[in-house]
Amino acid sequence: MDTFSHVVIGFGVGALAQLDPAVSANETLSQAVILGTAIGSNAPDFDFFYRLKGKGNYLRNHRGLSHSLPALPLWGILVSGMLYPFFTSTSFFHLFLWTFLAVILHVFLDLFNVHGTQIFRPYSRKWITFDSVPLLDPYILLLHFLGFGLILFYQTGITFLFIYIFLFFYLGIRTISSILTKRHLRSYFINAIRIKLIPRIRLFKWDILIETEEDFLFGIFSRKGLTIEHSLPKKINFPILVLNSRNDQRISDFLAGTNFAYPFVDVRKNGYLVYWKDLRFRTKRFFPALAIQFISSDFKKKNSYIGRVNSLKQYKKVVRNLTNSSSS
């Protein structure tokens, strides 16, 4: 989920904490808990410090160890430990308990979107995702804002208890729908290697990616049926160039963050462009999340780029920079 959503949810957990008699009866502890849940709800994303070593380092590590099961109590202890010296007259246990819950909820909700997390690290680098909710879900935000409005008239803890009961019901509906949709698609595409659902804001509507032995199919699925918009053949030209591109540090970092990248090679007058496109994200036939490596015709000069390209103008600028300023 996005940062703003995690902040809002953090305050929601702080409101839920008013169910705890020790919190609701102590204004100072209540303030500490609200701070703890707001910070704790964002703590796993503090891995943005990886950006200090470059974009590639961030892509490789984001939602990895910081979102793993062993890290959850550590985040709770760290955030609570930082706050407690300012609230020494309160209960560290209750501060930690609710902060820890906010951390758990952060990672739990991240499992439901298209990215998922590597929650089982360091034991496994597998990405776990339920493909149930969009990265920015307005229904989850509206539900929280409704709760913030209702606490003007009703008891805060009880109000958010019902809010979160409804939230988990909503997540359950979307997850069951996702499971049934994949099952339905597999009954038609029996030879599919993988089926990826990319949830839209609208309920029961997905962008879909279906991988077969021969190609990738892209389309939209809803209760009205399936529409295949276009396909890409699984044909790799210049396989040696593609294989060697994996040795580039930026390309390697990009590939570490996705299981849905596929290579394409474009021949230019002065060399080759090897594209690795993340097929999960597309606008019609355009894939904005990608890695590009330029290789000169004499194979002596190379340069690479990773990131998002959101327009044709930006794409041309990236390619121009790669081809004009390559390093050996």
Amino acid 10 reads G
Q: Would you say the pTM of this structure is higher than 0.85?
A: yes
pLDDT at residue 326, rounded to an integer: 55
| DSSP classification of residue 311 | S
In degrees and rounded to multiples of 5, residue 181 shows phi and psi of -65, -45
Q: How far apart are CA 163 and CA 63, in angstroms?
A: 27
207-232 per-position pLDDT tens digit: 999 999 999 999 999 988 899 999 89
| DSSP classification of residue 64 | S
- Residue 210 corresponds to which tokens in the numbers above? 């279906």
The length of the chain in residues reads 328
Residue ranges of the chain with per-residue pLDDT less than 70: 325-328
DSSP three-state, residue 240: helix
Q: How far apart are CA 43 and CA 153, in angstroms?
A: 31
27-70 per-position pLDDT tens digit: 999 999 999 999 999 999 988 788 778 888 888 888 889 999 99
Looking up tokens 């680098």 gives 125
Peptide bond into 138 cis (omega under 30): no
CA distances for 170 relative to 91, 146, 164, 222, angstroms: 34, 15, 9, 18
Q: List the one residue out of 288, 231, 241, 296 whose CA is nearest residue 264.
A: 241
Q: Which residues of 101-130 are buried (b: 16+ CB within 10 A; e: fewer)?
A: bbbbbbbebbbbbbbbbbbebeeeeebebb
- Residue 150 corresponds to which tokens in the numbers above? 């209702």
pLDDT at residue 328, rounded to an integer: 43
Q: How far apart are CA 177 and CA 171, in angstroms?
A: 10
pLDDT at residue 236, rounded to an integer: 86
Q: Are 211 and 228 in contact (CB under 8 A)?
A: no
Amino acid 238 reads F
Burial class (CB in 10 A: 0-12, 13-18, 19+), 59: buried
pLDDT at residue 235, rounded to an integer: 86
